[in-house]
Amino acid sequence: MTSDSPAAKPRLQREIWVLLVANVLIALGYGLVSPVLPVYARHFGVSISATTFLITVFALTRLLFAPVSGLLVQRLGERWVYVAGLLIVSVSTTACAFVQSYGQLLFFRALGGIGSTMFFIAAVGLMIRISPEDARGRVAGLFATAFLLGTVGGPVLGSLTAGFGLSAPFLFYGSVLIVTATGVFVSLRHSHLAEAAESTGPTVSVRTALGNRAYRSALLSNFATGWSVFGLRVALVPLFVTEVLGRGPSFAGLTLAVVGIGNVCAVLPSGQLSDRIGRRGLLIAGLAASGVTTVLLGASASLVVFLLVAYLTGVASGIYGSPQQAVISDLVGNQARAGTAVATYQMMADFGSIVGSLAVGQIAERMSFEWGFAISGGVLLVAALTWLWAPETRDREPIGGAADATWLGSVDGDTGPAGQRGGQLRGSAEVLLHSEDDTAEQCRDARGDR
C-alpha cells in the first residue's frame, strides 16, 4: 500500500513521538501527586474549601499567565517555552515536599501553575502545527493516551511509595520533570518545527475565532471539562472516597486510575473515528454521557459501584476529548500563527477549573457531596447541547480561509500578509491581490512602463 492510498495512515513527525514520551513521564508524576495533594493539604488542619482552593490557585495562575505563554511561544518557539515551563514546575513541586505551612504550599502550587501553562500551550501549539490534516483526531488521541497512561501508572506507583510519607510523591515528580525537560531540549534542539513561527505568517486572532460557532462551542465544552476533570475529579473525588465512602488515600488514587483506564479505552479509538466520521457527533454523545455518569458518581453508595461508574465516566470523557482537540486543529490550520486563540481555548479549561473547584467545595460543605456531582454533571449536559447548533469542522477550510497556507513573500517587496500585494501562499497557485487595480499595476511593473 502506498502513502498515496486513502487507507494509508500518514507518517507522523518525530517531534510528535518526542512529546508523546514526555507526556507519559509528566503524567506519571501528575498521577502520583494528584491523589495525595488534598490529603497533604488537610495535614495542615485546613477546611475542605481551603483544600480545593489549592486546585483553584493552580488553575488561576495558569489562566492569568496563558496569554503571556501564547506570546512567548510565538516569539521564542515551542521548545524553549516547553522546557522552561517544565523546569518551573519541577522546582515548585520539589519545594512542596519541604513546606511547613499551608500558605507555603499554596505559594508553590501557584508558581507551578505558571510553568504548567507554559509547557501545555507550547505542546498544544506544536501538536497543531505538525499534525497531518487527515490525522488530527488520531494525533489528539495519541497525546491524550500518552498522558492517560502516565496518569493511570502514577497512582499505581504512588501505592508503592506510600510507605515513604506524603512528601515522597512531590520529590519523585520534581525529579521526573528535570529528566523530561533535558530529554525534550536535546531531542528538539535541531528541529525547525519547534522554532518560533514566522512573523509574516497568516494569523488567527481570538476575535476572528470567536466569530465561528464551533470555536465558541469548543470554549464552552473545554470550560465544562475544566470544571469536571480538575474542579470536581481532582478536588472532590479523593475527599468523597475518604470522607463519604470511608476509604484511605490509596483508594482515592485507585479511583483516579480507574477513570484514567476508562479514558485510555476510548480516547484513541474516538480520535481515529473522528477523522472518518467527523467531530460533532462524538462530542455530543461523549459530553452527554459524561454528564449522566458524573451525576451517578455522586449517588454511588458503595466502593464497587463507585469504581464501576468511575470507569464509565472515564470512557465518556474519552469519547469527546480527542474530537474536541481536533476541532481546534481544524479551525486553526497547520500554518497559522494562533498562539492567542490556542491560549484562550486552554484558558477556558482553567477558568472552569477555578469556578468548579470553588463551587464544588462550597456545595459539598453547605449542601452535600451528591449535589456537587449533580451540578457538575449539569454543566457537561449544557455543553453537549451547544454542539447541536455548531457546524462540523472536519474537511472544512480553516478560519480566515488562508490560515492553512504559508506566506512565501511578495514579488514587489512586501514581506507578508499585512501588504499582501503580489504575495503567494504555499500549496496555492493564487496570488493574494485585493483589487483589479493591483493586478493591472503589476502588469505595468512587469513591462517596465510605470
- pLDDT digits over 158-172, tens only? 666 656 777 778 888
| pLDDT at residue 49 in the model | 74
Q: What is the pLDDT of residue 412?
A: 32
Could you report the per-residue pLDDT of 239-269, keeping only the tens digit for each? 777 777 777 666 776 777 788 788 888 888 8
Please give the model's pTM, rounded to 2 decimal places.
Answer: 0.69
pLDDT of residue 409: 34
What integer pLDDT is reported at residue 371 of this predicted model?
84
Q: Which amino acid is at 411?
A: V
pLDDT beneath 50, residues of the chain: 1-7, 402-450
| Per-residue exposure over 172-202, b if at least 16 CB sit within 10 Å of its own CB, e if not | bbbebbeebbebbbebbeebebbebbeebbb
pLDDT for position 381 = 93
Please tell me the predicted confidence (pLDDT) of residue 37.
80
The 10 Å Cβ neighbour count of residue 260 is 25
- Identify the helix (H) or strand (E) that includes residue 423: strand 423-425
Note the pLDDT of residue 380: 92
